[in-house]
Structure 1
Amino acid sequence: MNERIEQALYQAGDGEEIKQVKQVAGGSINESYFVQTGMQTYFIKYHANAPERFFELEAKGLNMSSETNSIAVPEVFTYSDERHNAFLVMEWVEGSPSADTDRKLGDHIAAMHQTIGNHHGFDDDTFIGALPQKNGLFSSWLEYYRDRRLKAQLQMGIERGTMTGRRRERMEKLLENLDKWVPDKVEPSYLHGDLWGGNWLSGPSGEPYVIDPSFLYGDRHFELAFTEVFGGYSSEFYQAYQDRFPLAPYYEDVKPLYQLYYLLVHLNMFGEAYGRSVDTILKRYAG
């Protein structure tokens, strides 16, 4: 492992002696390491069987978020998607929450959402966890969300056996009538794309950082809906967001439909533990 770390650091431009290497928690997909040299401390992620462009796209998402000058992200030093030796080298971010960390996070995410792209979707295919996401650029948010997100998960569910019988019928009916709830013309905000509570952390002086993006342009309410699926966000976060960028009146009506995508992802990745939540939403909208 140290040889691989040395290779990664050399590519990052750090030839100093390695002082410390420690394996750390970093999700279920990658091996993750804290590395300290005489020059810097790093967070290095490895994936032995990374899909093509896996870390390139993560680095691109971090850089796209950084370009908004709204929310802090770890600096990316280098990456490789070489077969059997894929890695991503970033700065090590460490700190403790301050009294206003949650408010800063809400305000900074809202500021990122106020950065507007030209189309919905993305010009590269990406990943959500280890699942591939087909993208493309669309003028219609409804068309992108229906055809690239929900239909893709329906098809994957059919192939994996998670989308059968009444569930499949309701899903197909929902897709036929999605325009009743999901807007067509809405501004394409810069979105993190995978903003569950484990994908942000506190840095120096309590400054919030976001990590592990699955970047896209789209309806900002899609992002906010996901923050409510698994928790990890305080009332201060939501109030600060609302103060900067108030939510549209349609949010509560569309929120479960935006949460549906992420629940379908989890259903297809982890199985029937998420089936009841999917069925509840499908029954509400396609009864």
Structure 2
Amino acid sequence: MKNSLSTQTWDSIAADISASTQTSFVITRSSPIGGGCINQAYCITDGRQHYFVKLNTREQLCMFEDEAAGLMEIYRSRTLRVPSPICHGSDADSAWLVLEYIDISGRASGKGSDLGKQLAAMHRTTSTHFGWIRNNTIGATPQVNSISSNWVDFWRTHRLGYQLDLARKNGFNGKLQTLGENILLELDKLLAEASPAASLLHGDLWSGNYAFDEMGNPIIFDPAIYYGDREADIAMTELFGGFPADFYSAYRHEYPLDSGYNTRKIVYNLYHILNHLNLFGSNYRHQAEQMMGFLLAEIR
């Protein structure tokens, strides 16, 4: 049975799928899928075909358009599997993104080393400039990807500076802003050893955004892509529980990290901690201030 979402919306989604696949699709069952805090998620089926559907308010259609474009950018790299976008659209009440449904029950049988090797290959997909051709979101926060030829300027303006400005608007002032201003001033020193290629990044690569398919092959999803220092992806894998040890050894074997990574990873993860501060509140303030204090002590 369908859930409490309006019948009209489900019918619109089914019609969108039918038009995109050129195959008639009528929803006979929709099952909620937990785990996300931004969108509602469902598996829908007609008894033969299955699809994964994300739902949000109609105002969030642009977020789904950006996600679909990001998935296609990774797909075109021919390196890591992503769920294929089927269609996206909206009606008077809701916006939706329909994706290929992938059985991820094979997580236990997958190898972190395969994920490491394939991510290294994805990071060798490069652009001539940092950023991307469109903005997107990191969680529910807008992420600015304006094209830049200078990595430090990009990180200063569109990553740390953007999050600090947002924190100020959210009422996080005082020590956080004082430390943040100093970090922005000293960023050239903190990233002095960095001369990265503009690598294709997942952008939000924490442990909840990868799995393994039914054959044990790695799959990544929920991207916030842009082109930047590949170490920003690796740094985030170390947040919120980390990845398996064989992931790191395989990645480093394929694409060794440069000296100074242990400092740079804090610069890069500060972006995500500030974003969590802005999304989820003051529990992340002390962590952000600690990170900034450590970085400033490194260059004194």
Taking the TM superposition and a 5 Å limit, the aligned residue runs for 1:75-90 are: 75-82=84-91, 84-90=93-99
Task: Say whether residues 1:180 and 2:189 are aligned partners.
Answer: yes
Task: Say whether residues 1:230 and 2:240 are aligned partners.
Answer: yes
Equivalent pair of 2:175/2:289 in contact (CA under 8 Å)? no
Pick aligned residue for 1:70 from 64, 71, 79: 79
> 1:120: which partner in 2?
130
Between the aligned partners of 1:8 and 1:100, the Cα distance in structure 2 is: 33
- Partner letter of residue 265 of structure 1? N
Q: Secondary structure at the match of 1:6?
A: helix
- Comparing 79-88 with 132-141, greater Cα deviation is found at 79-88
> 2:116: which partner in 1?
106
Pick aligned residue for 1:251 from 248, 261, 264: 261
Query: Do the aligned partners of residues 141 and 11 (structure 1) sit closer, same or farther apart at CA in structure 2, a change above 3 Å counting?
Result: same
- Partner letter of residue 202 of structure 2? H
Equivalent pair of 1:46/1:88 in contact (CA under 8 Å)? yes
Cα deviation, 1:205-248, whole Å, max 9, x if unaligned, reads: 11111111011000000111111111241001111111111111
Query: Do the aligned partners of residues 186 and 209 (structure 1) sit closer, same or farther apart at CA in structure 2, a change above 3 Å counting?
Result: same
Query: Do the aligned partners of residues 50 and 105 (structure 1) sit closer, same or farther apart at CA in structure 2, a change above 3 Å counting?
Result: farther
Task: Say whether residues 1:8 and 2:13 are aligned partners.
Answer: yes
Pick aligned residue for 2:249 from 205, 215, 239: 239
Equivalent pair of 1:77/1:90 in contact (CA under 8 Å)? yes
Query: Do the aligned partners of residues 52 and 282 (structure 1) sit closer, same or farther apart at CA in structure 2, a change above 3 Å counting?
Result: same
Q: Secondary structure at the match of 2:211?
A: strand
Taking the TM superposition and a 5 Å limit, the aligned residue runs for 1:130-141 are: 130-141=140-151
Aligned residues: 286
Between the aligned partners of 1:26 and 1:100, the Cα distance in structure 2 is: 20
Task: Say whether residues 1:57 and 2:66 are aligned partners.
Answer: yes
> 1:149: which partner in 2?
159
> 2:100: which partner in 1?
91
Between the aligned partners of 2:13 and 2:272, the Cα distance in structure 1 is: 33
TM-score, normalisation: structure 2: 0.90
Q: Secondary structure at the match of 1:122?
A: coil
Between the aligned partners of 1:141 and 1:89, the Cα distance in structure 2 is: 34
Task: Say whether residues 1:211 and 2:221 are aligned partners.
Answer: yes
Equivalent pair of 1:48/1:83 in contact (CA under 8 Å)? no
- Partner letter of residue 25 of structure 1? G
RMSD between superposed Cα atoms in Å: 1.7
Runs of 5+ unmatched residues, structure 1: none
Residue identity over aligned pairs, in percent, reads 33
Equivalent pair of 2:16/2:89 in contact (CA under 8 Å)? no
Task: Say whether residues 1:37 and 2:46 are aligned partners.
Answer: yes
Taking the TM superposition and a 5 Å limit, the aligned residue runs for 1:258-277 are: 258-277=268-287
Query: Do the aligned partners of residues 244 and 115 (structure 1) sit closer, same or farther apart at CA in structure 2, a change above 3 Å counting?
Result: same
Give the deviation of 1:278 after TM superposition: 0.6
Q: Secondary structure at the match of 2:290?
A: helix
Cα deviation, 1:47-80, whole Å, max 9, x if unaligned, reads: 0254351100000000001111000001111011
Between the aligned partners of 2:91 and 2:119, the Cα distance in structure 1 is: 33
TM-score, normalisation: structure 1: 0.94
